[in-house]
């Protein structure tokens, strides 16, 4: 065994302190971490709630509900068990957002060195700040965000610099080598639009009406030209609340599930071998009825994994 792989093995073992082993794994996966697989981590981060609390329960509820659904995608493929491992949840300290982001960064940094891809289950959207930051250490990043909100506020609530509504601004201030394609937003204020305008060379927004494959394919091709790594972040409130009411900050309208998966397919076709991280955030099981919408999130995970990693 080479020194490099001995060190890698030791780093993975050292993660034990920061990862809580799952009681049930997601989608019947075996327990990770494991090299060369798609590693699942739950991130029960919920430190900056502004409306309805509950996202921190999402990873464990989704694992538990995933025992009762079929592992087939909405386009007739069946998830391969050998593709995924579940590393459990990042152990977090309730209320300590910056220490928690450090822990998420640390776990992400080790796993990204060894895994094929990272499937991250939130928790609040703020976790993307830590993981996109880690990915940007490794080269130029295209971050594709699906979200009803722009999350470009300077402070939210007033006085709070790091939160689910400010994370994207903090990320762009910190990292010059991240380009963002923002899809589906229709909820923002004038200051956020001004920031968008001032940063339009690396922050491209397409609203819900334009979120179709034809428009996306050209943009994705152009934006990914000088990019080594792609990160896809899905805030489930991008979906119409009629299709996804179980989310902390709903915004009245949104994309259909089919719009979202068509966009994902298109991105996967154009950028498959560059996609390193997908996160699915802001599902709130306390607002779910009989776990109906948990099954939709699980279907979204299966569709994502089969589209992006299984048939690559
Ligand atoms: Mn949102």
Burial (CB < 10 A; 0-12, 13-18, 19+), residue 256, is middle
Measured in Å, residue 1 CA sits from the centre of ligand 1 at 45
User: Confidence band (pLDDT; 50, 70, 90) for 11?
Assistant: confident
Measured in Å, residue 235 CA sits from the centre of ligand 1 at 5
206-247 pLDDT tens trace: 999 988 878 888 899 999 999 999 999 999 999 999 999 999
Determine the Cα–Cα distance for residues 142 and 145; give it in Å rounded to an integer. 10
Find all residues with CB under 8 Å of 281, minimum gap 6, and list them: 55, 120, 122, 123, 124, 125, 127, 128, 233, 234, 235, 236
Determine the Cα–Cα distance for residues 228 and 208; give it in Å rounded to an integer. 27
Find all residues with CB under 8 Å of 103, minimum gap 6, and list them: 18, 90, 91, 92
Measured in Å, residue 4 CA sits from the centre of ligand 1 at 40
Measured in Å, residue 222 CA sits from the centre of ligand 1 at 26
Measured in Å, residue 268 CA sits from the centre of ligand 1 at 22
Report which of 123, 63, 54, 57 is spatially closest to residue 87, judged by C-alpha positions. 63
| pTM for the full predicted model | 0.97
What's residue 312's pLDDT? 62
Measured in Å, residue 187 CA sits from the centre of ligand 1 at 9
Measured in Å, residue 157 CA sits from the centre of ligand 1 at 15
Residue 126 contacts residue 101 (beta carbons within 8 Å): yes
Find all residues with CB under 8 Å of 2, minimum gap 6, and list them: none
129-166 pLDDT tens trace: 999 999 999 999 999 999 999 999 999 999 999 999 99
Measured in Å, residue 247 CA sits from the centre of ligand 1 at 9
Domains delineated in the chain? 3-310 (3.40.800.10)
Measured in Å, residue 118 CA sits from the centre of ligand 1 at 21
Helices (H), the chain: 3-14, 58-65, 97-114, 127-136, 167-174, 190-198, 213-223, 257-271, 292-305
Determine the Cα–Cα distance for residues 279 and 302; give it in Å rounded to an integer. 13
Measured in Å, residue 267 CA sits from the centre of ligand 1 at 20
Residue 20 contacts residue 92 (beta carbons within 8 Å): no
Which has more confidence, 90 or 221? Answer: 90
Report which of 236, 178, 184 is spatially closest to residue 202, judged by C-alpha positions. 178
Average pLDDT for residues 263-269, to the nearest whole number? Answer: 92
Measured in Å, residue 237 CA sits from the centre of ligand 1 at 5
Measured in Å, residue 58 CA sits from the centre of ligand 1 at 16
Residue 76 contacts residue 299 (beta carbons within 8 Å): no
The mean pLDDT value of the chain amounts to 95
16-71 pLDDT tens trace: 899 999 999 999 999 999 999 999 999 999 999 999 999 999 999 999 999 999 99
């Amino acid at each position: 065994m080479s020194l490099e792989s001995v060190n890698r093995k030791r780093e993975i073992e050292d993660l034990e302190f920061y990862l809580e082993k799952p009681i049930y794994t997601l989608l019947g996966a075996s327990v990770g971490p494991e090299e060369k697989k798609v590693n699942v981590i739950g991130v029960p981060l919920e430190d900056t709630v502004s409306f309805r609390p509950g996202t921190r329960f999402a990873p464990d509820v989704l694992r538990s509900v995933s025992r009762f659904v079929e592992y087939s995608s909405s386009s007739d493929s069946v998830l391969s068990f050998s593709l995924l491992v579940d590393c459990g949840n990042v152990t977090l300290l309730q209320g300590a957002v910056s220490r928690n982001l450090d822990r998420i960064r640390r776990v992400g940094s080790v796993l990204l060195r060894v895994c094929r891809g990272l499937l991250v289950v939130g928790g609040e959207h703020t976790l993307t700040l830590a993981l996109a930051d880690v990915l940007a250490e490794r080269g130029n990043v295209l971050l594709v965000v699906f979200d009803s909100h722009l999350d470009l506020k300077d402070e939210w609530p007033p006085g709070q610099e790091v939160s689910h509504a400010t994370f994207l601004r903090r990320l762009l201030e910190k990292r010059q080598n991240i380009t963002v394609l923002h899809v589906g937003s229709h909820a923002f204020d004038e200051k956020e639009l001004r920031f968008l305008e001032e940063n339009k060379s690396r922050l491209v927004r397409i609203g819900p009406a334009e979120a179709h494959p034809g428009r996306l394919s050209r943009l994705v091709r152009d934006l990914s030209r000088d990019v080594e790594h792609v990160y896809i972040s899905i805030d489930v409130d991008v979906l119409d609340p009629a299709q996804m009411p179980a989310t902390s900050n709903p915004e009245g309208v949104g994309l259909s599930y089919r719009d979202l998966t068509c966009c994902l397919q298109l991105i996967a076709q154009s950028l498959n071998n560059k996609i390193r991280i997908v996160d699915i955030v802001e599902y709130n099981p306390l607002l779910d009825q009989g776990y109906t919408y948990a099954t939709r999130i699980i279907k979204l995970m299966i569709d994502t994994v089969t589209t992006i990693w299984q048939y690559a």
